[in-house]
Chains A and B, each alone.
Chain A
Amino acid sequence: MIDGLMQGFAVLLTFQNLSLCLLGAVLGTLVGVLPGLGPATTIALLLPISLKLDPTGAIILLAGIYYGVAYGGTITSVLMRIPGEASSVVTCIDGYAMAKNGRAGAALGIAAIGSFIAGTVGVLGVMLLSPPLAEIVIAFGPWEYAALMLAGLSMIAFFAASGVARAALMALIGLFLGSVGLDPMAGTPRFTFGVPALVDGINIAPLALGLFGLSELLFLALSGDGKPEILRAPSGMLGFMPNRQEWKRSAGPIARGSVLGFLVGLLPGGGAVLASFLSYAVEKRLTKYPHEFGKGAIEGVAGPESANNSGTAGAFIPLLTLGIPSNAVTALLLGALLVHGVQPGPMILERQPELYWGVIASMYLGNFILVVLNLPFVGLFVRALEVPRRFMATSILLICVIGTWSTGLNHFDVLLAAIFGIVGFLLRRAGFDLGPLILAYVLGPTLERSLRQALLISDGDLMDVVNHPIALGFLIVAALVLLSAVTMRKRPAVVQDGGS
């Protein structure tokens, strides 16, 4: 294995491959920063160019974009409450709150470091644990997915700070929005009202950008007419980095987020969104400072940011070892591999070891480049907060519009984003939390589809679930989560301890 890795670095350390790795990382960060423009769109745009490169180089470039995006999405989430990616939605909650408290630099800094550690853990996992983990992927059938989704949905209980009924209402609406489109089994159009753009369902880009980004724009418009500053700029040099207490509090979340994100990102259909929400919920449960969550708890940034980075690495396992893409981006990478005549799968280690190890080596290097790129620029990014509102907000508006447009080249998406912007504004104004909506919207379709698939296979037998121990395990987790959420509400408030 070590000489495999050595071989990989040897492949990587050519001028061409190094520059591709760098280019991918930088481009990925840029794409992550720009809302709406997702890795899938960018990889799609670059595909023709990548066709002219050799396979290893092409994959290094495209993979670099993929993990660069996970870094870039944090920046707009923290600074402007605009999720650059769906997986950065969770960071908008506490990251932005930290920025309002003047700790934007700390948030960005901890996110970058956490992402680096998690990314490295993820790559190690890919290197060492691919075969057994590939078995886990295969063992997941419809019952297991349904149970996993239920466990994920149960996490909403941890978002119910503002009240159970409110979180439930948001979640239910999210589930409903997820059911728009073609029925997963019969292909019948549901709630499409003859609008062709809705046939594939409500896209996540207009939903997330509208609910979070555009609604934030409206709040900005409201906040004190004419004041030049939007957010409190941090004071002095040290405001740019996390302080000792923040480091201490982040250690656990980063570790847990790395492992959790990796395992969840591994599963097709699991993905970075679930990983980041899961990590947020876990950290909220385990923290000594639960009342800070929602108001700027650093665990709420460290955990999810680590989780979505190691999740990115985890998604490579099914791709490289089984030839199975976990999400739209790895599906594109698969296409790119095929175009170059590479057949991913168990044979890849025998047939094209230099490609496999080259990609792994580039993942290490890519992570390193990204943290080196992002950390020094934290100060620069934070300066963006001092830009007067009229420049920032109008830029946000136009970028969100073209970003939403770029995902599907559809006018309806942009209209949806604007509508969701207004809806998001009204809901947030009344104190509703939008996190459960997004989580339910993402998990709902998979839940419904998996449950119906399971019933199809078992011929309508609901009790068939007892034959599936993994599924039962997740159901127990779901029950425990709900139980623990109930007991958490009864916990006496923890005394505030310095800090914040």
Chain B
Amino acid sequence: MRGHVRAVGIAALVFAALAGWEASRLQAWSPFDGPGPGLVPQVLAVLIAVAALGVMAAPGDGALEGGDASPLRSRCFLAYGAAMLGVALALPYAGFIVTGFAATLLVLRVGEGRSWARSAGWAVILVVAVTLLFGTALGVPFPDGPAERMLAPLRLIRIG
């Protein structure tokens, strides 16, 4: 626990330093109307640093939430984490349908250890269901991607 709290504290200090540096480029006091854009962020940066020190001074004990085992050892965790980040990064290039399918496949095959067939099967079902619900029924525009471009002329989804 202590190690983690210390890590958070240090990260917060770094954050405060960066924030304060960026905030110092904004005007703290405007000649026209009192506090400028920079005042509040600068004050906050200082306070965050203080709070971070306070946190590190009293890290407290206790078990880590979620168990003490390192998450990086868990294949499942890595699979979900990679899927999550992967979708976010790949979305602008491959659209939702393809990335969603790939992510689900990754999670089920690598994380949950299911067979290729079962993983692909569920991935297809899930992606189709979500697309029909959000895209067709609710009319939410989908991000541009190869699969979306194929479905748009069929009037199943809109691209936004």
Q: Closest CB of chain A to B157's CB: distance in Å? A: 11
Chain A: residues with CB nearer than 8 A to chain B?
A: 34, 37, 41-42, 45, 162-166, 168-169, 172-173, 175-176, 179, 183, 185-186, 188, 190-191, 214, 217-223, 225-226, 389-391, 393-395, 397-399, 401-403, 405-406, 409, 411, 414-415, 417-419, 421-422, 426-432, 448, 451-452, 455-456, 460
The reply to whether the CB of B153 lies closer than 8 angstroms to some CB of chain A is no
Residues in A with CB closer than 8 Å to B87 are 397, 401, 414, 418
Could you give, for residues 94-112 of chain B, a 1 whenever the CB lies within 8 Å of some chain A CB and a 0 otherwise?
0010001001100110011
Instruction: Using known A-B contacts A176-B41, A226-B112, determine if residue A165 contacts B4 with beta carbons closer than 8 Å.
Output: no
Using a CB-CB cutoff of 8 Å, which residues 62-91 of chain B contact chain A? 62, 64-67, 69, 71, 74-77, 79-81, 83-85, 87-89, 91
A-B contact pairs, 29 of them (CB 8 A): A42-B138, A163-B60, A165-B55, A166-B55, A169-B52, A172-B48, A179-B40, A186-B33, A191-B23, A218-B71, A218-B77, A221-B79, A222-B66, A394-B103, A394-B123, A401-B88, A402-B134, A403-B134, A406-B134, A411-B143, A414-B91, A415-B91, A422-B85, A429-B66, A430-B64, A430-B65, A431-B1, A455-B33, A456-B34
Any A CB within 8 A of the CB of B36: yes
Q: Which of B60, B126, B138 contacts A394 (CB 8 A)?
A: B126
Please give, as numbers and ranges, the residues of chain A lying within 8 Å of B120 by CB-CB distance.
none
CA distance A460 to B77 in the complex (A): 53
| Band of interface residues on B | 35 or more
B107–A393 CB distance below 8 A? yes
B14 CB within 8 Å of chain A? no
Shortest Cβ distance from residue B93 to the other chain A in the assembled complex, whole angstroms: 9
* A220 surroundings in chain B (CB, below 8 A): 80
| Cβ-closest 4 pairs across A and B | A165-B54, A183-B37, A418-B88, A221-B80
Distance between Cα atoms of A191 and B37 in the complex (Å): 11
**Which residues of A are found within 8 Å of B45, using beta-carbon distances?**
176
* Given known A-B contacts A42-B138, A169-B12, A191-B41, A394 and B107 have beta carbons under 8 A apart: yes
Q: Chain A CB within 10 Å — which of B51, B84, B89, B140 has the most?
A: B84
Cα distance, A451 to B154, chains bound together (Å): 53
CA distance in complex: A443, B4 (Å): 29
B67–A222 CB distance below 8 A: yes
Interface SS of B by simple majority: helix
Contact A455 B88 (CB under 8 A): no
For A393, what are the chain B residues with a Cβ–Cβ distance below 8 Å? 80, 107
**B146 proximity list for chain A (CB < 8 A):** none
How far is it, in angstroms, between the C-alpha of A393 and the C-alpha of B140 when the chains are bound? 22
With A172-B44, A418-B84, A422-B81 as known contacts, state yes or no: A222 contacts B8, CB within 8 Å. no
A221 touches B76 (CB 8 A): yes
B: which residues have CB within 8 A of A?
1, 4-5, 7-8, 12, 15, 19, 22-23, 26-27, 30, 33-37, 40-41, 44-45, 47-48, 51-52, 54-55, 57-58, 60, 62, 64-67, 69, 71, 74-77, 79-81, 83-85, 87-89, 91-92, 96, 100, 103-104, 107-108, 111-114, 122-123, 126-127, 130, 134, 138-143, 160
Residues A221 and B138 in contact in the complex (CB < 8 Å), given A168-B54, A172-B48:
no
Residues of A near B130 (CB, < 8 A) are 395, 398-399, 402
**A390 adjacent to B108 (CB under 8 Å):** yes
Q: Do B141 and A172 touch (CB < 8 A)?
A: no
B122 & A391 in contact (Cβ 8 Å cutoff): yes
Contacts of A432 in B (CB 8 A): 8
CB distance from A164 to the nearest CB of B (A): 8
Closest beta carbon of chain A to B24's beta carbon, Å: 12
Contact indicator B81/A430 (Cβ below 8 Å): no
- Of the candidates B5, B74, B114, the one whose C-beta lies within 8 Å of that of A222 is B74
Q: Given A179-B41, A401-B91, A418-B88, verify A394-B51 contact (CB < 8 Å).
A: no
Contact of B12 among A163, A173, A223, A421 (CB under 8 A): A173
A417 cross-chain contacts in B, Cβ below 8 A: 88
Contacts of B64 in A (CB 8 A): 429-431
How far in angstroms is the closest Cβ of chain A from B99? 8
Contact A190–B41 (Cβ < 8 Å):
yes
Nearest residue (CB) in A for B93 is A411
- Given A165-B57, A402-B130, 11 more contacts at CB 8 Å? A37-B134, A169-B52, A172-B48, A175-B44, A191-B19, A397-B83, A397-B107, A398-B103, A398-B126, A426-B8, A429-B71
